[in-house]
Structure 1
Amino acid sequence: MSYQQLDKEFPTYKELFEIPTHKSLGVSEAKDDSIYFCGNSLGLMPKKTRESINNELDAWSARAVESHFNHPNATPWMDIDLPLVPLLAPIVGAKETEVAIMGSLTSNLNALLISMYKPKGQKTKILFEKQAFPSDYYAFLNLVKLFGYDELHLIQLSPKDGETYLNTKDILNVIDENHQDLALVVFPGIQYYTGQFFEIGKITNHAKKYDLIVGWDLAHAVGNVELSLHDWNVDFAAWCSYKYLNSGPGAIAGIFVNERYTKENSKQSFPARLAGWWGNNSQERFKMVEEFDPIQSALSYRQSNPSVIDVVSLKTSLEIFDQIGIKNLRKKSLKLTKFLEDRLISSPFYQTNESNGFGFKILTPLNQEERGCQLSLLFQPHDDIKEHNVMERVNEYLHEQGIICDERRPDVIRIAPVPLYNTFEEVHIVTEQIFEILNRIKKDYI
């Protein structure tokens, strides 16, 4: 099908978002919209976000501290995050009691790790991927060190030689081989570099055969693919919301904690965690008593009152998801990314993994069920001099055309057509521009 036909079948919702222009990006004086394929790094701003933030600034101006309990026109600040819970739960496939809006990705991950990591006897090790986002590695390393262990208590799994992503069977085999030593299994829902969508349910259920605790870093998965965290029996998960959830740079994040850890919470019995007064019974909170009475939900893992500005920014995006539905977005996303893949593979510059010729390889799984909306392209050959490197030249050219993607040095460009605000026509344009610049520069390498 042509991009025109596909765009008729799958609508875009870009009218709900602020789109950077060539002029605002400093590319040219043209006021034309850019093509933004970088939602995997930072999502675009919903148009309603500015109004939502201004409403809270007005409340601060008009009533100051009293807006905590007596807001002039919206949810009092004391409960500002609670309306987001029913909007978020369907996106991650959870019960409302299993999610909370709080913190930032790595601070949340650390808080959950310190609660869930229970080394005992020889079961002290953490299994994760060799190419995990560095922040996750730092968290795992320091976690075992806090318990008096060293890096030998980290088991890292790499793709096999000649492969660009992990095979699920290999993950399951490593769990089988090491289950007597494992205290924790933690993988990304979607790998940030390759875009691989892990088989969360299969991996979790396999680890559960050995009663292992399983957690997931869902930074690149939430708002990108359909998730069923409760049905998959996941123990815990953490994510940021500034990528596919469009909440703004560095904005508030979220967590999932399986109800098994919270539904029996009481003053007398509760799993220990990093705690604060916002996780305590809200009816008792201002009595200031020295008695922890945790809420019987994931809200009990909150430590402090959330940033009001962050919360309402996220809410404007979650309302869009609620209106459209994650299932509908995923349906379009599968078609959009497949259209991108087909266009790329049709190019003479496309190289298979076995080839070292001039052009690009696709690091992301070609099975569309094993990826989100991102395709990672490895450009070759490599040159240490930036001005001569293929990837750098391609990325610079795309930016000059008002096309925003995401580079990962030394040689990868991540291209992420987001179903909320990208179109099939834009995929066509972007691929045409990639082919154009490669055609121009190929004489320098062949």
Structure 2
Amino acid sequence: MSEMNFEFSEDFALRMDREDPLSHFRSQFFFPKVYGQEAIYFCGNSLGLQPKSVSKYIDKELSNWANLAVDGHFHGEDAWYHIRKKSKPALAEILGTHEHEVVAMNNLTVNLHLLMVSFYRPTAKRFKIIIEKGAFPSDQYMLETQVKYHGLNPDDVIVELNPRPGEHTLRTADILAEIRKQGEQLALVNMAGLQYYTGQVFDMKAISAAAHEVGALAGFDLAHAAGNVPLALHDWDVDFATWCSYKYMNSGPGNVSGIYIHERFAQRPDLLRFAGWWGHDEGQRFLMEKGFIPMYGADGWQLANSNVLALAAHQASLDIFQEAGIQRLRQKSERLTGYLEFLIKEISGSTGILEIITPENPSERGCQLSLLIHRGGKAVFDEWYQQGVVGDWRNPNVIRLAPTPLYNSYMDVFRFAKILEQSLKKFA
């Protein structure tokens, strides 16, 4: 749907919701309240809403624990010993991978550190890492300490990509040029898949190809991409990735992460890693013997046994994703975010109060729009919250809004637009 089709009217928003084939999924989520009224919740980029089915999924495992105790590992529906396998079909669909290339485990930054053990092996000649300027702090701290662990100076190793003067986002051509410039010194490109601050989606296929051309590896933090934009990690030839499940995958605060390892590394027992019991060949695991034999694929990077209750909450959301379909969600996302963009531009006009810094091209963004606030600062954000808008403030002066297609509606966007219209009069 092109921008010319949008209308700033309640009738239009209601009609779009009536015609939306995914609108019924909204009723499957709990919405918070702000000052007694149901919130306009545009904060799925920080924490997704709770599916109403979560308690049923967790109660089932609590029942298994109560009735089977230790026997629950090998008996009953979804025996815990193999429970990690249940999430693989949905994860493979969302990430665009084979099932043996993904596994749910740990938390995101823990996984980043574990992946660096295997995929960042600096030498005197090849040691540099490329990352985008202003990456999420966890990624910055992880890289800084990993580099120091190898006895190197982060200032000499980490190459940060900056947008051109006067621009807010990176050009793909500039990313590829820097990869080629670093050439034989480059060990790793380790960027976000979707930049948390600007909302820009990077061309992971082109970046991976360029990295491989100079003999480097490419890995991505997909915290803001997984469950938000369609991914094809295997076909894009990405080497490795990790993500979290509590943002767009709606699996609960701090819930389980996951990793992707390209199948070229699936059967590489020589590849260094920090090993644990649950990554050992499960056919021999209970022999309790020395000598680590990694499982095939991503499973060989596991450390400890699965967190069953966490995976239950995760599965509740993944089952909804499989029913909705990531491609159908993407179609709605482009329209829903496009409608929000249209209304913001329609209302803000030439006021100069705010500026959308997220790319206009739908293929270069997910459902998030980042608004640079030129006047009013955090007071603008606070004003919106007083009116029931739950967004996300990021210093120094950006408000992130994420109309999530799984549970947000066109009326949510219209209601926000009316609030925006009134607030701009106050801060003009």
* TM-score interval for Structure 1 and Structure 2 normalised by the shorter chain: over 0.9
- Return the TM-score normalized by structure 2: 0.94
Distance in 2 of aligned mates of 1:212 and 1:409 = 33
1:431 counterpart residue number: 417
SS at match of 1:313: helix
* Partner of residue 26 from structure 2, selected from 14, 26, 47: 14
- List per-residue Cα deviations over 1:53-79 (Å, max 9, x = no partner): 1222222222322222223xx311111
1:316-354 Cα distance to aligned partner (Å, 9 max, x none): 11101111110000010001111111111112x345xxx
Q: Distance in 1 between the 2:57 and 2:313 partners?
A: 7
Aligned residues: 415
- Identity over the aligned pairs, expressed in percent? 41
Partner of residue 212 from structure 2, selected from 203, 208, 215: 208
Determine the structure 2 residue equivalent to 1:303: 303
Greater helix content = 2
Kept in 1, the 8 Å contact 2:184–2:215? The answer is no
Maintained 8 Å contact 2:130/2:158:
yes
What displacement does 1:394 show?
2.1
State which drifts further: 123-132 or 432-441.
432-441
What is the match of residue 59 of structure 2? 54
Partner of 2:346: 346
Q: Deviations over 1:19-70 (max 9, x none)?
A: 1134xxxx13xxx422111000000011110111122222222232222222
Q: 1:291 corresponds to which letter in structure 2?
A: G
Distance in 2, Cα, partners of 1:400 & 1:57 = 39
Write the distance in 1 (CA, Å) between the matches of 2:250 and 2:133: 28
Out of 223, 227, 231, the position equivalent to 1:223 is 227
Runs of 5+ unmatched residues, structure 1: 352-356, 382-389
Matched, 1:399 2:409: no
Aligned to 2:3: none
Instruction: Please give the alpha-carbon distance, in whole angstroms, between the structure 2 residues aligned to 1:345 and 1:124.
Output: 45
Cα distance between partner residues in 2 of 1:115 and 1:280: 16
One-letter code of the match for 2:253?
P
2:371 aligned to 371, 374, 377, which one? 377
- 2:294 is the counterpart of 1:290: no
In structure 2, C-alpha distance between the alignment counterparts of 1:283 and 1:375, rounded to whole Å? 48
* 2:30 corresponds to 1:44: no
The DSSP-based 3-state class of the residue aligned with 1:180 is: helix
CA distance in 2 between counterparts of 1:150 and 1:350 reads: 47
Amino acid paired to 1:4: L
State TM-score, norm by structure 1: 0.90
Aligned to 2:330: 330
Supply the distance in 2 between the matched residues of 1:371 and 1:350 (Cα, whole angstroms).
22
Q: Match of 1:137, SS?
A: helix
Name the stretch that deviates more: 118-127 or 368-377.
118-127
Q: What CA distance in whole angstroms lies between the structure 1 residues aligned with 2:288 and 2:364? A: 49
CA shift for structure 1 position 358? 4.3
> What do you get for the CA RMSD once the two structures are aligned?
1.3
Q: Deviations over 1:206-241 (max 9, x none)?
A: 221112100000000000000000000000001001
User: Which aligned segments of 4 or more residues in structure 1 are displaced greater than 3 angstroms?
Assistant: none
Q: Which residue of 2 aligns with 1:3?
A: 13
Does structure 1 retain, via aligned residues, the 8 Å contact 2:32–2:39?
yes
Paired AA for residue 321 in structure 1: F
Provide the C-alpha distance between the structure 1 equivalents of 2:80 and 2:397, rounded to a whole number of angstroms.
46
Q: State which of 62, 65, 69 in structure 2 corresponds to 1:64.
A: 69
SS in 2 for 1:376: strand
Amino acid at match of 2:89: P
The secondary structure found in structure 1 opposite 2:33 is coil
Q: Deviations over 1:244-268 (max 9, x none)?
A: 0001000000110000111x34xxx
Superposed CA deviations along residues 391-445 of structure 1, whole A, max 9, x for unmatched, are 3222222222222111112311100000000011111111220121121232xxx
Further displaced range: 410-419 or 205-214: 205-214
**Aligned-partner Cα distance in 1 for 2:52–2:146:** 40
SS in 2 for 1:221: coil
Q: Indicate the SS of the match to 1:316.
A: helix
